[in-house]
Amino acid sequence: MGIVAGLDSSPDFTRIVVCDTDTGAVLRQGYAPHPVEAPDGGRPSDVDPQAWLLSLGEAAGGGLLEGVQAIGVSSQQNALIPLDAQGNTVRPALVGGDKRAQVAAADLVDALGGREAWAQAVGSVPQAAQPVTKLRWLAKNEPENARRAAVLLQAHDWLVWQLLGRPTRRTTDRGGASGTGYWSAATGAYRPELVELALGHQAVLPDVIGPSDAAGTTPEGLLISAGTGETMAAAFGLGIGLGDAVVSLGASGSVMAVHPEALTDQSGMITSLADATGMHLPVVTTLNAVRTLRGTAELLGLADLESLSDLAVKSTPGAHGLVLLPYLEGERTPNLPHTAGTLSGLRRESMKPEHLARAAFEGMLCGLADALDVLRGRGVAVRRIFLLGPAAELPAVQASAPSLFGAQVVVPQPADYAAIGAARQAAWALGVSQGTLDPRNPPAWQGAAAQVLEPGEELAVGQAVRQQFTAVREQTHPGAFSL
């Protein structure tokens, strides 16, 4: 029996889990926040990556990594670290969904000839968060820094490079590369001309290594696996495979599923990512998920989402005809960036708090079901849906999700799935290096403990609610969806 570690460097903290190599059982764990503060108290857009190393060191304190044979690194996606020719950071890392880059995203779409051209090139249309868009922002707003940028890394690439002692060779994985906007999941190759289009000149990009490959070994003999982005690591930690989808309930929502091939989508609704196993992870994002619930709770004067859920379950499916189109921040799926939410079906008998509460939950879930249908419409099999996020525990969500999604819903127990996925990747690379594992088949770790919910007899009721939602959406925004 051996032990491996998984490190997840999220936007706010570092979490490390130490796992049994054979079963994946978590043996010990560490945690430390990043020593980063934004002037306005929010999440900063510029971060010195040294902060990630400081929290890594703190999280690994107390002998946490003693006896560990291999470590995997998961990290926040879309963070761009430009290095100069000597390997020094040109400027702080550009992280998160940087609103400064929204104009740059539109510029890039036009520069290549439209959304379809980008979808064909790399499987996604530039968004403000993506590294390719941040390069364009850098070239337009900090031209001297742009000229000095000789090497481009993402967060997990940079952390792996640091752990290995800053070797000459820099590496990444398919999952991380697929989110850059200058690597194609369909061809498995970089599009360096897109880097030049965005930055104004070529730059050195990390080698893309395979899912079970090792990035290298530290001087102390610790094997470092390829690493990957948080989304891919969490999917790997959950153990999802073909036929599985993941619906994530944050302020915004996302739907992703495992698929054997890359999907291109000229509308930009699908982002074609690669996963951490050699397969693909098409992702569809909605701008409005839990923010819909929070807004409704505030409107009704409720203190929290649990109170909103308790109120909603007093109503009945269909909310007495109330339909909420939850496009409060505009919407990406469907592509309605400048619209607002709509409340339809007001009648005297429906004007009660519990019906509005129910309509909020149904509107959020129907919006995510629309996103699922985008994938289903492209031939993606969805037989089982993993529901993630604190809101997944709410009774009003669990009562409606299986029938509205039309599939079995699995609600995993809260765990550090990105860190567990990174540890599983480390175990895979270690096993391959020792000749005990097949490079094509990851270790079969225990699945996540979970609650399983079936649509059952409620399926027909749920589909009637979906039809009610779809009718209002089509009447209000005709032709918004062309699946």
Q: What is the pLDDT of residues 373-428, one digit of tens each?
A: 999 999 999 999 999 999 999 999 999 999 999 999 999 999 999 999 999 999 99
- DSSP letter at 458 equals G
Phi, psi angle pair for 17, to nearest 5°: -120, 140
Asked whether 423 and 223 are in contact (CB, 8 A), the reply is: no
| Half-sphere CA count of 112, side-chain side, radius 13 A | 29
Residues 188-210, mean pLDDT to the nearest whole number = 98
Which helix or strand (DSSP H or E) is residue 71 part of? strand 70-75
Residue 1 has a pLDDT of 66
Please say if the pLDDT value at position 284 is more than 80.
Answer: yes
Distance separating alpha carbons of residues 359 and 296, to the nearest angstrom:
10
Distance separating alpha carbons of residues 281 and 271, to the nearest angstrom:
8
Please say if the pLDDT value at position 8 is more than 80.
Answer: yes
Give the SS3 label for residue 59: helix
Residue 42 has a pLDDT of 63
State the residue for tokens 């089982």. 384
Please say if the pLDDT value at position 41 is more than 70.
Answer: no
Predicted TM-score of the model (pTM) = 0.93
Return the percentage of the chain with pLDDT > 90, whole number: 91
Residues 435-456, mean pLDDT to the nearest whole number = 94
Residues 350-369, mean pLDDT to the nearest whole number = 98
Residue 98 has a pLDDT of 75
Residues 251-274, mean pLDDT to the nearest whole number = 91
Please say if the pLDDT value at position 438 is more than 90.
Answer: yes
Distance separating alpha carbons of residues 217 and 227, to the nearest angstrom:
13
Residue 292 has a pLDDT of 98
Please say if the pLDDT value at position 483 is more than 60.
Answer: no
Strand partners, 324: 343
Q: What is the pLDDT of residues 124-136, one digit of tens each?
A: 999 889 999 999 9
Q: Which two tokens stand for residue 115?
A: 């959304």
Distance separating alpha carbons of residues 56 and 266, to the nearest angstrom:
40
Residues 331-354, mean pLDDT to the nearest whole number = 95
Residues 306-313, mean pLDDT to the nearest whole number = 98
Give the SS3 label for residue 285: strand
Report the chain's mean pLDDT, rounded to a whole number: 95
341 — pLDDT class (breaks 50, 70, 90): very high
Residue 268 has a pLDDT of 79
For the CA atoms of the chain, what is the radius of gyration?
A: 22
Cα separations (Å) of 68 from 155, 158, 341? 22, 21, 51
Residues 29-43, mean pLDDT to the nearest whole number = 80
Residue 140 has a pLDDT of 97
381-409 burial, b if ≥16 CB within 10 A, otherwise e? ebebbbbbbebbbbebbbbbbbbbbbbbb
Smallest CA-to-CA distance from 130 within 176, 171, 172 is with: 176
Give the SS3 label for residue 41: coil
Please say if the pLDDT value at position 203 is more than 60.
Answer: yes
Distance separating alpha carbons of residues 318 and 308, to the nearest angstrom:
16
Cα separations (Å) of 37 from 33, 60, 128? 11, 22, 22
Q: Residue 12: is it exposed, middle or buried by C-beta count within 10 angstroms (0-12/13-18/19+)? A: exposed
Asked whether 238 and 386 are in contact (CB, 8 A), the reply is: yes
40 — pLDDT class (breaks 50, 70, 90): low
Please say if the pLDDT value at position 467 is more than 80.
Answer: yes
Cα separations (Å) of 1 from 30, 67, 115, 431, 440? 21, 11, 51, 12, 22
Residues 56-82, mean pLDDT to the nearest whole number = 96
Other Cβ atoms closer than 10 A to 189: 12
Distance separating alpha carbons of residues 451 and 453, to the nearest angstrom:
7
Return the percentage of the chain with pLDDT > 70, whole number: 98
Distance of CA 401 to the CA centre of its chain: 20
Asked whether 233 and 427 are in contact (CB, 8 A), the reply is: no
Asked whether 47 and 202 are in contact (CB, 8 A), the reply is: no
Q: What is the pLDDT of residues 249-261, one digit of tens each?
A: 999 999 999 999 9
Please say if the pLDDT value at position 481 is more than 90.
Answer: no
